[in-house]
Structure 1
Amino acid sequence: MLQEAELRDSLARTSTLEAEMGELRLRPEAAEVTRWRQEAEEATRWRTEAGDLRTQLGEERHHCELLRSEMKGLERALALVGRGRSSVSRSGIPSGFAGHYLTGSSGRRRNEEEARQHKRAPEGSETGPRVMAPPSPRPPECTEESG
C-alpha cells in the first residue's frame, strides 16, 4: 500500500509539473498576446484622436474662412470710410462720419452715392452731401390739403 500511495503521489506531482510546463510554454505567447492587445488599443486611441483632430481642423478651417470673409468686408468698409474721411463735405462734417451707414447694403449704397456726388461737385458748389435738420418737436400745421 505504501508503494501505491507513493505512485499516486508521484503521478499527482507529475501531472502538476506537466501543467506547470504547459503554462511556462504558454507564458511567452500569452505575454505576446497581451502586448498585441495593448498595441491594438493604443492604435485605436490614435485613430480616434486623429479623427477628432481632422474634425477640429475642418471646424477651424471653416472658422478661418468666415473670419477671412468678415475681414474682407471690413477692409472694404474701411476703404470706403477712408476715402470719405480724406475730405470734408460742404456742410463741414467729414463725409466719413456717415460710416455708420456701412452696416447695411442700402447704407453702403447711400455712402457710395454721397462719395460720387462729392467728387463730381465743383469747388464752391452747394451740391455736396448735407446733414438734414432734426424733425421739429411741434406737430405739423394743418393745411388745406389735410383739412
Structure 2
Amino acid sequence: MAGHGAPEITVDGSGAKVAVVASSWHTVVMDGLIAGTDRALKEAGVTDTTLLRAPGSFELPIIAQACANAGYDVVVALGVIIRGGTPHFEYVSAATTDGLSRVALDTGVPIGFGLLTCDTEQQALDRAGLPGSPEDKGREAAEAALSAWATVRGLTPRR
C-alpha cells in the first residue's frame, strides 16, 4: 500500500468554490471517497461546495471541464475503475487520467485526482476512507487540489 510517506497538507480553503464530481459506479467505495472529500473540505474552511454525479469515470473529465468553465476554483474528481478480464480497464484509466490532466492544464483550475485504479474491489475499499480502511484517497485528493489552488492563487503574474 502506498499510503506511507504521504504529506500532511494543511490549507485554508475559505473562499474557494469547489465542485466534487463523483462517478456513480461502486457505491460503497464512492460513498467513502465523497465522505473523505467532504471532511477535508470542511476542515479547510470550504463552505461553497457542489456535488455532481457522473455516470462513470470516463465522463469525469467533461463534467470537470464544465465546472472549471462555470467558475469553480477547484474540482475534485472521484472515481473507481476495477480491472476486469478485458483491456477496457487500461483504456478507461488512461483516457480519464489524460482527460483530467488536460482539463487542469487547459483551464488553470486545480483538479483533485481521486480516481482509484485497482486490480480488485478490496483494493478500492482499502483506499476509500471507510472505517477500517488504511487510506483515504478522497481526503487526499481534496487536500492536494486545495493546496494547488492556494499556491497558484498566491503567484504574482509577470508583466
Q: Normalised by the size of structure 2, how large is the TM-score?
A: 0.24
Structure with bigger RCO (C-alpha 8 Å, 6+ apart): 2
Higher strand residue share: 2
Which protein shows a greater Rg? 1
Q: Normalised by the size of structure 1, how large is the TM-score?
A: 0.25
